C-alpha cells in the first residue's frame, strides 16, 4: 500500500500552512480546540455557503463535517440568517441577561418533539449540558458515581473523559473495561467516580450495574456511539429495564443524534424514554447551545428561588445548598434560539428530514458499491443523516470492533479527498445537510474513485479487480 505524501498536501495549502505556523506562536498547538487539529496541519477556512466551504487558498470543498454535524441546514441558510438578523433588529440588542419569550417557545418545541423532556434548561454547549445532567442525577439519587460506556464521548468533563479511545494494550477485559483517563490534570481522587461499561453487551453491562447499583446515580449513553455505531434494540430495551429496576437514572446524550437520526432523536427511533436527555449541535442552528431536559421531579431540583441565589450578598441574604446550581450569562441566548427555532421549522416543513435521510442512504449505497467494485472491504455505519466509512468486513457493534478496521487506508483516502474538493476531517464521520445535492453526491463518489486510483497507482483503463485489500 502506498502512503499519501504530506509534501503534496502541503504544497496545495500554502496559506493554511502559513496561518498554522503563525497561530502556533500565540495559540497552544495552533488550534483553539484539540478536535480541530489533524496531520500534517489543519485547513483554515474563510467562507461557507450551502454545502460548500472555501479555504484561505481559495479551494472549494463539499463539506461533510458541517461543524461536526451542527449545520444541518448547511452554511448560511437564508432563512436562518434572516431569523438571526430579525431578532437583533426587533429587540435592538444582542442579549438581554433576563428571561425572554424565545426561551418558552424553544422549550415548548423541544417538549413536543422529545416528550421525555418534560422541563428544559438551556446551556451553551453539549459539555455544559452533560455537566448539569450528571449534577442533577447525583442530587436526585444521592449516589456519587456514574456509569459511561467505553468509546462514548460526552465532552471534556473529568467524570466522562475516560475510555473514549483507549488502546488495545490498556483497555482491559471486554466484559469489564479498565478505566483509561484521556487527559492530564484530572485529580487522582476523581478517577474512581466513573464505572466504564461495555457497549452493546447487555449481559456484561447487567453484571456491572448490579455490582455497583448502590453507588451509581446514572448511566449516560450515546444511543449511537460516536454518532455512527447504533445500539442494538435489545440492548437499549434491556438497559432501560435494568436502570429502572436498580434505581439508576438513564441519561441519553443526544448532542450528536438529536434531529439527525430523526426529528425526535434516537429515543424516538428506539422507543425509549430516558430520565434525562442532553441536546446540542443542530439545536442551535450553527450557534453555540446545549439543553438538558427530563422528568419534572428531577429538573425541578434546579428551580431557582430566593434561597437558591448564590450571588445574593449582604447580611440578610438567604441562601441554601439544597438547590442544584445552574447558571450562565448566555444560557438561552436569543440569537441562538432564533437560529435554532428556524432550523427546526425548516426540518419540519415538507418532510425535509426524511428526504435528507434518503439522500444520506443513497450516498452510503453509492460509496459501498464503488469500493466493493474494487474488491475493497468497506462498509458505511450510521443512522439517519450521519455515518462513517469503515474499512473492514467485520460487523461494527462497539468501540473494540473498530480495532479491526484499516484506519491507515481511511486516513490516506481522506487526505486524497481533501485535494479533490471533499472535506471531512480525516477519520471522522460524515454529516449531511438539506443543502447537499445530487450533484454533490456525484462529485463525492467520483472523488473517492480518484482517491482509490491515486493510492493504488491505477488509471482509468485498469481493471477494478486489480485492487484487493
Q: Active-site residue numbers?
A: 153, 253, 281
Alpha-carbon torsion angle 37, 402, 279, 274, nearest 10: -160
d(CA 413, CA 410): 5
Q: Rounded to 5 degrees, what angle do the CA atoms 385, 386, 387 make?
A: 130
Q: Which long-range contacts (CB under 8 A, 24 or more apart) does 10-17 make?
A: 10/40, 10/41, 12/57, 12/59, 12/419, 13/41, 13/43, 13/55, 13/57, 13/59, 14/57, 15/44, 15/55, 15/56, 15/57, 16/41, 16/42, 16/43, 16/44, 16/55, 16/56, 16/57, 17/41
As separate numbers, helices (DSSP H) first and strands (DSSP E) second, the chain gives 14, 18
Cell reading at 353: 428530514
Q: Which residues of 160-308 form beta strands (DSSP E)?
A: 172-173, 176-177, 194-197, 216-221, 224-225, 229-230, 249-253, 276-280, 290-294
Ordered DSSP codes for 368-431: HHHHHHTT---EEEEETTEEEEE--SS---SGGGGGGS-HHHHHHHHHHHHTTTEE--TTPPEE
d(CA 412, CA 36): 18
Look at residue 436 and give its three-state secondary structure: coil
d(CA 216, CA 221): 14
Alpha-carbon torsion angle 172, 177, 181, 187, nearest 10: -110
Among candidate residues 196, 256, 200, 237, the one with its CA nearest the CA of residue 382: 256
Start-to-end Cα distance in the chain: 9
How many alpha carbons lie under 13 Å from residue 344 in its C-beta half-sphere? 24
Q: Any residues with CB less than 8 A from the CB of 2 and at least 6 apart, and which?
A: 412, 455, 456, 457
Amino acid at each position: 500500500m502506498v502512503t499519501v505524501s504530506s509534501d503534496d498536501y502541503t504544497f496545495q495549502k500554502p496559506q493554511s500552512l502559513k496561518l498554522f505556523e503563525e497561530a502556533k506562536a500565540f495559540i497552544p498547538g495552533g488550534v483553539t480546540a484539540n478536535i480541530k487539529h489533524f496531520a500534517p496541519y489543519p485547513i483554515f477556512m474563510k467562507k461557507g455557503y450551502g454545502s460548500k466551504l472555501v479555504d484561505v487558498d481559495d479551494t472549494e470543498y463539499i463539506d461533510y463535517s458541517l461543524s461536526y454535524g451542527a449545520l444541518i441546514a448547511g452554511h448560511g441558510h437564508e432563512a436562518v440568517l434572516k431569523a438571526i438578523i430579525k431578532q437583533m433588529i426587533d429587540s435592538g440588542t444582542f442579549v438581554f441577561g433576563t428571561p425572554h419569550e424565545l426561551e418558552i417557545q424553544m422549550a415548548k418545541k423541544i417538549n413536543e418533539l422529545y416528550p421525555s423532556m418534560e422541563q428544559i434548561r438551556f446551556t451553551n454547549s453539549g459539555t455544559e449540558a452533560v455537566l448539569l445532567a450528571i449534577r442533577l442525577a447525583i442530587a436526585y439519587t444521592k449516589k456519587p458515581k456514574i456509569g459511561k460506556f467505553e468509546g462514548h464521548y460526552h465532552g471534556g468533563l473529568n467524570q466522562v473523559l475516560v475510555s473514549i479511545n483507549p488502546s488495545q494494550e490498556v483497555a482491559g477485559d471486554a466484559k469489564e473495561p479498565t478505566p483509561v483517563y484521556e487527559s492530564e490534570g484530572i485529580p487522582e481522587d476523581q478517577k474512581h467516580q466513573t464505572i466504564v461499561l461495555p457497549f452493546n453487551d447487555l449481559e456484561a453491562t447487567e453484571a456491572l450495574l448490579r455490582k455497583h447499583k448502590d453507588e451509581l446515580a446514572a448511566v449516560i449513553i450515546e444511543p449511537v456511539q460516536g454518532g455512527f455505531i447504533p445500539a442494538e434494540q435489545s440492548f437499549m430495551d434491556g438497559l432501560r429495564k435494568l436502570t429502572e429496576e436498580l434505581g439508576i437514572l438513564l441519561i441519553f446524550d443526544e448532542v450528536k443524534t438529536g434531529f439527525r437520526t430523526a426529528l425526535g432523536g434516537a429515543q424516538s427511533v428506539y422507543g425509549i424514554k430516558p430520565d434525562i436527555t442532553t441536546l446540542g449541535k443542530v439545536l442551535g442552528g450553527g450557534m453555540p447551545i446545549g439543553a438538558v431536559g427530563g422528568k419534572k421531579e428531577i429538573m425541578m431540583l434546579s428551580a431557582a428561588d430566593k434561597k437558591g441565589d448564590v450571588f445574593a450578598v449582604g447580611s440578610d441574604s438567604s441562601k441554601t445548598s439544597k438547590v442544584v446550581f445552574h447558571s450562565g450569562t448566555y444560557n438561552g441566548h436569543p440569537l441562538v434560539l432564533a437560529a435554532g427555532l428556524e432550523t427546526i421549522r425548516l426540518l419540519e416543513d415538507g418532510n425535509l428530514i426524511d428526504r435528507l435521510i434518503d439522500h444520506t442512504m443513497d450516498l452510503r449505497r453509492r460509496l459501498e458499491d464503488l469500493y466493493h467494485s474494487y474488491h475493497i472491504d468497506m462498509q458505511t455505519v450510521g443512522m439517519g443523516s450521519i455515518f462513517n466509512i469503515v474499512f473492514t468486513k467485520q460487523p461494527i457493534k462497539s468501540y473494540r470492533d473498530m480495532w479491526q478496521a484499516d484506519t491507515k487506508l481511511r486516513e490516506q483516502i481522506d487526505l486524497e479527498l481533501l485535494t479533490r474538493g471533499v472535506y471531512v476531517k480525516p477519520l471522522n464521520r460524515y454529516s449531511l445537510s438539506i443543502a447537499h445535492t445530487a450533484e454533490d453526491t456525484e462529485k463525492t463518489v467520483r472523488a473517492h474513485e480518484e482517491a482509490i486510483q491515486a493510492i493504488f497507482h491505477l488509471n482509468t483503463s485498469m481493471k477494478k479487480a486489480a485492487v484487493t485489500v
